[in-house]
Structure 1
């Protein structure tokens, strides 16, 4: 990150390219939270004329009083102020979470304080409290991530749609809008959705779409296909497939005369856009038009 990005960001002087690069830095989320907190601070209203009149009245009715502070008392007051500031800073910093984000068409490798490993898929966010990690191995996830958890105390992944709890194992969690899937590749994971707990041994997966859950099989000691630069689906509504295509290639997708609720089973490449478009369009017998970073999928009879 360029050294002057922070100052330019605070003054809203970054270009779009510089802003995109700055957002990729690990420090960005902390700066964003501090700026957001500072923006909420409000100064009290100040009536300048009223304050001036009050001073003038006191000058004519009161005899000035002189207070003499010994150097030691002055030192105590200054020390007290510094102590309050330090205590407040420590409390604020102890509540800050470490946060990692990925943009479209980006993956990120993260090592947690206990040497557990996480790989974030595109357009995802992971956060945790490093200060409390030794006593509380909790992470918050929005998006998709693959976990290799080091053995130890309970490890919990919090999402908006469910909890995943393990002691030490390898598993994948995807938490998107109305889409929540957990796949266990090694060990045993506990998944809680709407208060209902499900035990998933290695080689099993649970998927919830719009509140409806189903279980399926996975490869024991395997890994999610997106780590091999492929995205795979088994009877998934087409609009979720197109959403993932957008995330992997940072493109804009639209459809015309196509039922986006129809189910899709297949795989597309995360490295070759032309091949990915064909992998979706051919099985569904639909057409596509690629124009720059915009893709239109349309039915055979559509113009």
Structure 2
């Protein structure tokens, strides 16, 4: 498969990220609440897309939610309860790296929930999401689709990369042997929760560059934002010094100059 050229990708990504900042300014100014759900198979590229979306957004009003395994207390709650606590307030956007749909995917396939709990989830979810939408929340759901060969390729690259080795869990590896079970679970999930008012949008993600551009472009098209002119900012002139004397640098504790050592080492090599 031919990938999107790097130069074209970087130029378009920069343009789209500028638009994301404008979108956030509108969300903040209007008090809009936005939830974007990112689901899909392991190694499908959800995290990379979220990273590029959030990269230049103001973290005060844009949050990434990636919940760990539920605690003992959370397991005793109504299933949706801990997700409700993470929903946005006025003027916020929440990006969910996996969501309540864990119950329809990994929990179903790995038998972390009962058949009754799974059936109840599929029954309740359309109603739950309808309540969010009726209350004014803009809910957007993305499913990242990756082929089996590309998924295995990404798993192997993680295995050999010390900075990404942590991303390869036992559950990830089991997704290889249970590929068809995950496919059936996803199909059943779509059959119950892909509704006209809360649809699933599928992202083909074998080419990560294309999937990121497609996701951001589509997200921008679904949020009815307008350009909000930021308040004018004037940088004041720095006042003249009035007798302040900085203490000697020798009295302070300084971080060792590791970068300086590298420069000296490089200079000797050259």
TM-score range, shorter chain: under 0.3
Q: Which has the higher contact order (CA 8 A, sep 6+)?
A: 2
- The structure whose residues are more often helix, as a share, is 2
Larger Rg: 1
- The structure whose residues are more often strand, as a share, is 1
TM-score (norm 2): 0.25
